[in-house]
Structure 1
Amino acid sequence: MLEFNGDKLRPMKASDLSMVLEWRNHEAVRKNMYTDHVISEEEHLSWFQRTSSDNTIKHFIFESQGKPIGFVSFSQIDEANKRAHWAFYSGDLSTKGLGSRMEFLALTYAFDELRLNKLCCEVLGFNQPVVKFHQKFGFEIEGSLKQHHIKDGAAHDVILLAFYKDKWPHVKKTHLEKVKNV
């Protein structure tokens, strides 16, 4: 379990399934995901069973002050090449600043716990606010996959982003200084 300033990442449990399914099926979350249909309980349970037994995938619940409010996932964890992919979404779409807090803990886990060299993510091209959000944290655009994903009958680009461990000490220090000054 990873904790900072009242926030924590804890491993997802089977008892979290209905809560995570509710978050995942929220229209505001679905519209920015590859899989955007309403996910059934059966499909969700199958996903959890399949991914829970895969040691290259880690699912976490983000909690603040003991209240679960988000989901963070690492996939394609490659220990030999020291890289992984990650994604997250909030179950609380009304509270400002949750994304930054989730991203900080995700980076802490990636670089302080997993000891990665590179953390990757993918964002649908029309979701420029999230691309810019990741860039504010230090993610770099590595490229794009043109017309890579069909959504609502239209082909969309996928933006490939990465964060490298050499940036982590500066980003970590900057974030810690911001928290001290709040």
Structure 2
Amino acid sequence: MLRGATEDDVNLMLSWRNQETNRQVSKNSHEITAEEHAAWWSRVRTDPNRRVLVYVRDGRPCGVVTFFELRLDGPRTGSWGFYLDADGLAERGETLPAWLEVMRAAVDHAFDELRLDRLDGEVLADNTVVRQMNRRFRFVEGIPEMQVHDGREITVVPVSLDRENRRRR
């Protein structure tokens, strides 16, 4: 289940984002400071082109899904990303089912709630597990691009999923 993020979620979101597992697969791999996170939250919580949602599994908050660059007039498009409480889910042996569930919930939210025509995202080229999962959900990869973030050179692969290509249960 996804629900809107609130002020009560801010510290939890920061702790998950700073988990080593999540930093390794993010474009910005540095540890986010409390000040950076507060500034981000201040910007996004009222931005009409963004949504920040908390993924809840068995009554427990377990991750964050963000939608951004939402264009809701004309062709309805948006970008997305997510991260999970990797450490907590791994301890409970719930990583894979949670990952499948959050992706399903996010895709459903994008097309059923936000009514997008296309959902875009990015993945690091060396993150083969996520790339494989994206293909399972029928995301199509674009042309990889070299970028520099946090002083490291990375290859970023754009992905997209059109409404008509989405996998239905």
TM-score of the two chains, using structure 2 as the length reference: 0.91
CA contact (8 A) 1:149 1:158 kept: no
Corresponding residue of 1:64: 57
Corresponding residue of 1:3: none
Corresponding residue of 1:98: 98
Do structure 1's residue 83 and structure 2's residue 81 form an aligned pair? no
| CA displacement 1:20-46 (0-9 Å, x = unmatched) | 111011011011112211111111111
Aligned residue type for 1:33: S
- 1:144-163, aligned counterparts within 5 Å? 144-145=144-145, 147-150=146-149, 153-163=151-161
User: Does the residue aligned with 2:144 lie in a helix, a strand or coil?
Assistant: strand
Which aligned segments of 4 or more residues in structure 1 are displaced greater than 6 angstroms? none
Do structure 1's residue 121 and structure 2's residue 121 form an aligned pair? yes
When the two chains are superposed, the root-mean-square deviation of aligned CA atoms in Å is: 1.3
Corresponding residue of 1:140: 140
Find the aligned partners of 1:93 and 1:149 in 2 and give their Cα distance: 30
Corresponding residue of 1:130: 130
**What displacement does 1:150 show?**
4.0
How many residues matched? 162
Find the aligned partners of 1:69 and 1:144 in 2 and give their Cα distance: 30
Q: Percent sequence identity over matched residues?
A: 27
CA contact (8 A) 2:77 2:117 kept: yes
Find the aligned partners of 1:154 and 1:66 in 2 and give their Cα distance: 38
Aligned residue type for 1:164: D
Corresponding residue of 1:5: none
Find the aligned partners of 2:25 and 2:127 in 1 and give their Cα distance: 7
Aligned residue type for 2:158: L
**What displacement does 1:154 show?**
4.2
CA contact (8 A) 2:57 2:98 kept: no
CA contact (8 A) 1:123 1:158 kept: yes
User: Does the residue aligned with 2:9 lie in a helix, a strand or coil?
Assistant: helix
Find the aligned partners of 2:40 and 2:152 in 1 and give their Cα distance: 26
Corresponding residue of 1:177: none
Q: Which is higher, the Rg of structure 1 or of structure 2?
A: 1
Structure 2 unaligned regions, length at least 5: none
Corresponding residue of 1:172: 168
TM-score of the two chains, using structure 1 as the length reference: 0.84
Find the aligned partners of 1:38 and 1:93 in 2 and give their Cα distance: 20
CA contact (8 A) 1:111 1:165 kept: yes
- Higher deviation after alignment, 153-162 or 13-22: 153-162
Find the aligned partners of 1:93 and 1:66 in 2 and give their Cα distance: 13
